[in-house]
Chain A
Amino acid sequence: MSLKRKDLLGIQDMSVEEITLVLETAESFKEVSGRDIKKVPTLRGKTVVNLFFEPSTRTRTSFELAAKRLSADVINFAVSASSVSKGETLLDTARNIEAMQADFIVLRHPMAGAPNILAKLLRASIVNAGDGGHEHPTQALLDLYTLREKKREFKGLRLAIVGDIAHSRVARSNIYALTKLGAEVRVIGPPTMMPLEVERLGVKVFYDLDEGLRGVDVIMMLRLQLERQGIALFPSIREYSRLYCLTPERVKLAAPDALVMHPGPINRGVEIAPEVADSVSSVILDQVTNGVAVRMAVLYLLSGGK
């Protein structure tokens, strides 16, 4: 069984069966990552190009490790050093990469929908590694994997996603995924960071953190995108932190065995207190470990979908 698709562009159009297939396949790859020899010959001779138009360390490294553990060859296309700064369009860049017989292009781009355009025009499999404020499907899949590992069931699981919901592709992909799987999703953040009519995605909106956290099984924190704070969404970081920082006292409002997640990189003391980030309920580093296994699963499953 394969994902019957060439590309992974978003969670929105994935079925529950497809999501489950990725998660189950990732279990085998987690075992591979736990070995002394962390490499299998599965994608020998295939080429994966990481094409990143936005800075990223974690996601790029994770994809790179995933590809290398499958024996694929990996090229990292660093945008600042590339011909993009000489005026080349995205499509021309991608066509040049494809002309070098790339089998996968892992794309991160500031514009929503950029991977969809490449997917339509290229033969290579396109994996969306984050497109603007749209989707970040592999992040959602690794979050799901981590949740499944710790909580077993999605049905009836109560989750709160906290932070800048409007600008977060992580939030969007997770909302699509978790509502499909039957979880109860709350979104918490200041009104200026709440997308219009977000309720239509099937979530409950809270503007007060303490109220929203009550009784939840999982707290998913989002990074406050400090680099975006030229846009005045709240008066000061201090005020944001006072109202929306996840402190140990606030964690106590959630269910006793609640998990704390964060896609990283974390801003200690801004959206999450250091004591919480380092506490036993935090699964932030599990998320990173699982990310490699999930991305291996995605590359493996897409390589059969042509």
Chain B
Amino acid sequence: MDVKKAERTVMDAQEINRALTRVAHEISERSRGVANVALVGIRSGGVHLANRLVARLKEIEGTTVPVGTLDITLYRDDLNARKEQPVLRKTEIPFDITDLKIILVDDVLFTGRTIRAAMDGLMDLGRPAEIQLAVLVDRGHRQLPIKATYVGKNLPTALEETVEVFLDETGGPDRVAILS
């Protein structure tokens, strides 16, 4: 039975826009510029957000920071429990991450399991000087001791609700919604 879930918008395009601008400023403030900073978007929700942050950082700092894409499928902790293997996509990080400050970017921070997998995946690619985490939405309910460095919006949710991020790049329009 596939009942259409009720959708409640919690962030509109302008709020997403402002949140990303603030996060970009926080990134440049925390690192005093963007030297040695690189962004890595987690597939698939983090990829477009990482690209948007790169554009914002360019406006603020005048330099284009390197950006890559990480697929965490091979590092998931639920591969044995699933009926079907998830579709594997490519990790594309066209620079050496060793000694860089890597900022992982994802859309929603939930249990923390994705971030654990992403950190393990990154460590297999090199030895970054530091890993930070930027998310558009932190919805709580962590199952691992993981905390975001930059948060677009803290969003209290019930466990059974679903948080969905829609972006223009994937059909949009830009909004964050809670489905319940």
Contact = CB atoms under 8 A, between A and B. Distances in A.
A301 B85 contact: yes
Interface string B83-95: 1111111111000
Contacts of B126: 36
B153 to A, nearest CB: 32
Contacts of A25: 87-88
Interface stretch (B19-27, B59-67, B71-79): B71-79
Contact of A300 (B82, B85, B90, B120): B85
B85 A303 contact: yes
B97 to A, nearest CB: 11
A235 interface: no
Interface residues of A, number: 21
Contacts, number: 49
A269 B58 CA distance: 60
Q: What DSSP secondary structure best describes chain B's contact surface?
A: loop
Interface string A15-41: 000000000010111011001110111
| B interface residue count range (under 10 / 10 to 19 / 20 to 34 / 35 or more) | 20 to 34
Interface string A24-63: 0101110110011101111000000000000000000000
A191 B70 CA distance: 53
A35 B89 contact: no
Contacts of A304: 79, 82-85
A28 B71 contact: yes
Contact of B85 (A1, A35, A37, A39): A1
Interface of A: 1-2, 25, 27-29, 31-32, 35-37, 39-42, 297, 300-301, 303-305
